[in-house]
Amino acid sequence: MKKVRITSHPFLTTTIGLLAVIIGSNAMAFSITYDSISGYATGIKNLVVDNKTYDVDFVVGSYDAVYDTTSPVFLSNQSGADNAANAIMNALNAEEALPQVSVGPNEVLWVAYEFVPNDYFRSTGTGHATLADPWQRYGNLSGSPDTEYSRWLFAKFTQTPVNPVPTLANWALILLSMLLGFVGVAGLRRFSALM
């Protein structure tokens, strides 16, 4: 029986390393959107909450106006609303310059989770008292659905659709699988030739 010598293939290790970089860099990161004129933050793209990806718009208006055609994503899900408010707070605090969403201090972004028609809504939120303060979690708010609260905006979530078109990361995994398959076949041929 011959000795089997295992060698490292620089091409293979380089290819696997490049594919790992491509896969890692292609992860969908959130991004804050800003109004080009006022400079205010208007939303967040690709925010992950409870393993789902959302686009979030910061909307001024009463509950009835903001949710006139759709219900809040976290309706009847207070823990999901809490997680969403935490995700918003973390995203805004991650920016190099602290984002502002409206004129003046005491800004609040509310995530609605309960609604009783013609009576009240409940939401949880994140905000800051002065423009220099970081965003922090605020307690729950109960309010009248037809009242617009000054400098208090709703965070309106829209789940982003799952993209069935292969992304760069999908193609990288496909190529990596094919490459490993070819290397495996070649290795089996060499091994069987040595036997």
Question: What's the pLDDT at 145?
Answer: 95
- What is the mean predicted confidence (pLDDT) over 157-176? 72
Stretch 72-80: mean pLDDT: 97
pLDDT at residue 19 tops 60: no
CA distances in angstroms from 122 to 4, 66, 75, 135, 158, listed in the order given: 69, 14, 9, 20, 19
Asked if 145 and 63 count as a contact pair (C-beta separation under 8 A), the reply is yes
Sign for the pseudo-dihedral over CA of 150, 65, 159, 142: positive
Cα separation, 85 vs 88, in Å, equals 5
Cα 58 from Cα 42, distance rounded (Å):
5
pLDDT at 26 over 50: no
pLDDT value, residue 25: 43
Asked whether the predicted pLDDT for residue 143 surpasses 60, the reply is yes
The residue type of 163 is N
Whether 194 has a pLDDT exceeding 80, the answer reads no
Band of pLDDT at residue 24, cut at 50, 70 and 90: very low
Q: With 90 as the cut, is the pLDDT of residue 177 above it?
A: no
Do 84 and 133 share a domain, yes or no?
yes
Whether the model clears a pTM of 0.75, i.e. scores above it, the answer is no
The greatest distance separating any two alpha carbons of the chain, rounded to the nearest whole angstrom, comes to 85
Distance of CA 178 to the CA centre of its chain: 31
Mean pLDDT, the chain, integer? 82
Q: Does 182 share its domain with 145?
A: no
CA dihedral 42, 91, 133, 104 (to 10 degrees): 0
Say if residue 154 is in the same domain as residue 169: no
What is the domain range of residue 139? Answer: 31-159
pLDDT value for 175:
74
63: pLDDT strictly greater than 60:
yes
Among 25-29, 78-82, 146-150, 153-157, whose mean pLDDT is lowest?
A: 25-29
Do 127 and 144 reside in the same domain of the chain? yes
- Considering the domain architecture, whether residues 144 and 118 belong to the same structural domain is answered as yes
**178 and 108 belong to one structural domain:** no
121 and 55 both lie in a single domain: yes
Residues 50 and 124 in one domain: yes
**Taking 80 as the threshold, does the pLDDT of residue 153 lie above it?**
yes
The number of distinct structural domains making up the chain is 2
In this predicted structure, what is the pLDDT of residue 10? 54
Q: Which residues pair with 32 in a beta bridge?
A: 44
Please check whether residues 69 and 54 belong to one and the same domain: yes
| Within a domain: 189 | yes
CA distance 129 to 29: 28
**84 and 115 part of one domain:** yes
Same-domain pairing of 105 and 171: no
Tell me whether residue 11 is in a domain: no
Smallest CA-to-CA distance from 103 within 150, 146, 56, 141 is with 150
